Chain A
Amino acid sequence: MIAIKDLKKSYNSHEALKGISFNIKEGEFYGLLGPNGAGKTTTISIMSSILTPDSGEVLINGNNIYTHPNESKRIIGVVPQEIALYNELTAEENLWFWGGLYDVPKTELKKRIDEVLTLFGLSERRKDKVSTYSGGMKRRINIAAALLHQPRIVFMDEPTVGIDPQSRNLIFEVIEKLHSNGMTIVYTTHYMEEAERFCDRIGIIDNGQIIAEGTLDELRKSSSAKETIVITFNNLNDDKVQKIQSFWKDCNHTDDKIYFYTSDLKTELSKIISQCSDAGADIHNIEIKKVNLETVFLSLTGKQLRD
């Protein structure tokens, strides 16, 4: 349904996208997972045809979105990363305005507004100005405004950043409902929990490139991603790190922690612990991380997804 081919985009001299390609099937929930500055918003902006790529193309249902911008805009809903609403208007007025821009007939729009307000639990506050809303409520209206024209495709750019768990759960439920109704969703996030929870397929994006792509299982099984034993030491010094690294090559070191990667946790855990004490290192804490997107990302880039 959506085909993205080799997108490149530079801002001045900075290369924000270095050739991004992926395909999304109808009804699929596709996640773009990546840290700050990875190029998620840039990709979404190009896909919604408000930003022109330096090269590459975006096809929606086989149509190039730049030659048919309005056709694609009508079937796409975009939830921007920043809350983009008129603060001095009420929630309802905002929804009337944004829905109206898609030429939704009045009676239809009225029905849709009632629906989304109920869906997001804001019916009671509909007559209040958005400026009086909490951050979580604004986020909800921000999403609701993208759904009024019943788009078949929705792009959500980090729709849950910086909100309370209560609003977040409500938003998650709505998103799951939309997905189960057959909506095609492209969802960007830097929370791996979100990607793991929703996504049929995930593209991991870093530094303007997709560095891995697949279902959660595929990504977990991908070669270098292993289970991780994170050991925190007291008084770790370079000498001790060197000794440890000499017996266990497959590890990473940050501050007072060492990440040991293993494909056979059961047999190798005790081995690692005894060898650490042999090296004279004072173990403070041991944590075991099953393979998840965080560890996949770490193994791919050598850095944390969030810091």
Chain B
Amino acid sequence: MIKLTIKDLRLFFKDKRSMLLSFALPIALITLFALAFGGAGQGKKDTKISMQVSDLDQTPSSASAMQVLDSLKNVELLKVPLEKAQENIKKGDQACVLIIHKGFSDSLTAGKELPLELQYDEAQEIQVGLLQQSLIPTIAMLPFNIGNPKAVMRNRFDKMVPGASDTVKQNIQHKSDGLFDAITMGEMQSDGNDNAGAGLFGGDIKMTKLVAAEKDNSLGLVQAVAGTAVMMLLFSVVGIGAGILDEKQEGTLKRLLYTPMNPIKILFGKMISANVISIFQLVVMFLFASLVFGLDIYSHLSGLIITIVATAFACSAFGVFLASFAKSRQQVQGLSTLIILVMSAIGGSMMPIFFMPAFMQKIAVISVNFWSIQSFYDIFWRNLPITSGTFLSRILVLLLIGTILNSLAVVLFRKNILKLS
């Protein structure tokens, strides 16, 4: 029995492919997820959420407010002119913009409510939510840190007890002024938590949806369907592509060459069948999502069809391309498992990309998944019309990926597969 075990272990360690799958792949994925969730190395440094800021006030106070925001550990501040910032959001490049309206400085000195507004893309509400968590306490504390805390207190108290007599007011004002003087003079220590006052005073930011999200379809559902569909499609399409290599191994490819048919048709045949099967597969998945989870596909039918066709085209090209340079089905499968899992992880199939740190979001564009999933977001969540430039440019990228990979496949097929010697 021990002999049998030893034999199995020996075979296992000799098989490079299974070694790769058992060790290298999980390690690569763990690394990737760790990076994506921001747990790696430099800790939270990498997990910055980017936020655009447009300063319409243009005063020293607004500048110092921006400085305070910039010092936040997990927010990466981008100073962008308002128009440009709004455009970025509409394009889906950025989640939100914080607008410092005119009169910020005056309100700060007068201790009045600050004219701040956060315009955001509802589709990215998870990211915006994360941002709010760190933003609101800081903004709430702004008047105390860079403004006139005494004035703030007076105004607040006026609001709290509108009917109080002047003497009462003066009495309280005096006491609170004294309290702040004491803080400033260092007699009372802050407990180290800058945000201590936040709960008390509340952060007043006006929230405005710049891009409204589709109400019928939940973000999670769109993510689950689109993410999974694209990843699974990649796997199945690689299987179809590898059929060419099976034909080579089983001799039917050679037999096809005996016939008067142009050999490149063998590849075109595979491409077409891969496309048909891919489209069919995506249609089934979205129908399922519609029937079982109530995804509203009918009011977005044209966009959905366009995206399905473009996704099928790009994905099947990927499958055929992989098959055209590998030597055997086994090789394709080893290689593709790695590539697909990595692409799916960085492209947002496994989790929404806005959960990932900025640099991960930047490299996401190298994956087919990213473009496809974002297109599905465009239709189901951002509710963009099919004529929208953002949506169309993503479709264009998918078609481009498909065209390039298909062309490469043709070249490689001629070079590798048809060569029988």
Contact = CB atoms under 8 A, between A and B. Distances in A.
A73 B260 contact: yes
Q: Could you say which of A45, A50, A76, A98 has the most chain B C-beta atoms within 10 Å of its C-beta? A: A50
Contacts, number: 44
A185 interface: no
B252 interface: yes
Contact of B255 (A51, A76, A80): A80
A22 interface: no
Interface in B359-408: none
B265 to A, nearest CB: 10
Contacts of A73: 258-260
Contacts of A84: 250-252, 254-255
Interface in B43-88: none
Nearest to A12: B421
16 contacts: A11-B421, A50-B420, A51-B420, A70-B260, A73-B258, A76-B258, A78-B255, A80-B251, A80-B254, A80-B255, A80-B258, A82-B250, A84-B250, A98-B255, A101-B260, A102-B260
B420 A45 contact: yes
Contacts of A83: 251
Contact of B259 (A9, A11, A45, A101): A101
A26 B153 CA distance: 112
B261 interface: yes
Interface string A1-23: 00000000101000000000000
A51 B420 CA distance: 7
A203 B258 CA distance: 23
Interface string A42-56: 000100101100000
A86 interface: yes
Q: How many interface residues does chain B have, given as a range? A: 10 to 19
Contacts of B421: 9, 11, 51
Interface in A110-145: 145
B250 to A, nearest CB: 7
Q: Could you say which of A11, A70, A145 has the most chain B C-beta atoms within 10 Å of its C-beta? A: A70
Nearest to A77: B258
A186 to B, nearest CB: 13
A82 B420 contact: no
A156 interface: no
A102 B259 contact: yes
Nearest to A142: B255
A85 interface: yes
Interface of B: 250-252, 254-261, 420-421
Nearest to B259: A101
Contacts of A50: 254, 257-258, 420
A102 B254 CA distance: 15
Nearest to A103: B260
A78 B259 CA distance: 9
Contacts of B259: 73, 98, 101-102
Contact of A101 (B250, B251, B254, B256): B256
Contacts of B260: 69-70, 73-74, 101-103
A86 B259 CA distance: 16
A26 B252 CA distance: 29
Interface in A81-100: 82-87, 98
A145 to B, nearest CB: 8
A83 B261 CA distance: 20
A21 B255 CA distance: 25
Contacts of B420: 45, 50-51
B88 to A, nearest CB: 52
Q: Could you say which of B254, B257, B259, B261 has the most chain A C-beta atoms within 10 Å of its C-beta? A: B259
Interface in A24-60: 45, 48, 50-51
